[in-house]
Amino acid sequence: MSGWTADDVPDQTGRTFVITGANSGIGFEAAKVLAAHGARVVLAVRDTEKGQRAAARIQGETEVRRLDLADLESVRAFADGTPPLDVLINNAGVMFPSKQRTKDGFELQLGTNHLGPFALTNLLLDRIRERVVVVASEAHRMGRIRLDDLNFEHGRYERHLAYGQTKLANLLFASELQRKLDAAGSPVRVTAAHPGWAATNLQSHSNPIENAFMALGNLVLAQSAAMGALPTLYAATMDVPGDTYIGPGSLGGMRGHPALASRSGAAQDADTARELWERSEELTGVHFPLAAAV
């Protein structure tokens, strides 16, 4: 992987990618590279006007479709209208907002970062030909899965811990999905990636003091969104085993070219992954669609 760049992405002609949150940041940069390498890219975005503006800046075949991961009705509508695809990249997310609820009553970060992608992936799974990519974060290390209170309905709400929970959930979801696919005899692979510290607008939705700190960090420490997209691109296009986790290889995983990334012990807890899956099915009403192999 040493020195791997966007120029090393293999030819993607004839392949279709769906990328959530592709109108800006990591998702936009990934879409731009994939389209340039011949892929047809579906920009799945909440604001289609922003999506169209983003698509106009991409050289290659694109389609813009509305998807609000914080609304299960929107997720189902998107899935219902989606033909077969090769790769789904679960990229969209929110970070550190004030306490809010989704249309379905979920804590906003949990609904957007985990439950929405969980539902979308399972609803599309019988049409995904090759791969699911889950974009996580090193913030998973501060996460704890609150199986008895995933939605922070009791006690004090702490948005940083709520975010960490969702990023830990991303990695547990990826691992459990791969186990289920293997048991079903499916050839689909699940990979995960994180961008390190990349300068995107994800860090601009907190309070003014925290936004200012993030802006300073973006100037001093962060790498570009284009560099931050490289782990996602690697996880989406290179021949790696299922449940591989890719991130930047330098400065403690904060920046650099793609490399194998480590994950916390909590992110490798198969029992918690299974329990989280069951709870996610209960909350969303969406289940794994493939039968176990005989």
Tell me which residues are annotated as active site. Answer: 163
Within 8 A by CB and 6+ apart from 213, the residues are none
In angstroms, rounded to a whole number, what is the distance separating the alpha carbons of residues 208 and 274? 38
DSSP letters spanning 112-152: IIIIHHHHHHHHHGGGEEEEEEEE--GGGGG----TT-TT-
**Two tokens, residue 121:** 């992936």
Number of residues assigned to the chain: 294
In angstroms, rounded to a whole number, what is the distance separating the alpha carbons of residues 41 and 239? 20
Residue 3 gets the label, from left (phi > 0), alpha (psi -120 to 50) or beta, of left
- The alpha carbon of residue 67 and the mean position of all alpha carbons in its chain are separated, in whole angstroms, by 14
Q: Which of 209, 206, 222 is nearest to 25 (CA)?
A: 222
In angstroms, rounded to a whole number, what is the distance separating the alpha carbons of residues 224 and 200? 8
Residue 16 gets the label, from left (phi > 0), alpha (psi -120 to 50) or beta, of beta
In angstroms, rounded to a whole number, what is the distance separating the alpha carbons of residues 58 and 259? 27
Q: Which of 166, 29, 188 is nearest to 121 (CA)?
A: 188
**Two tokens, residue 78:** 């998107």
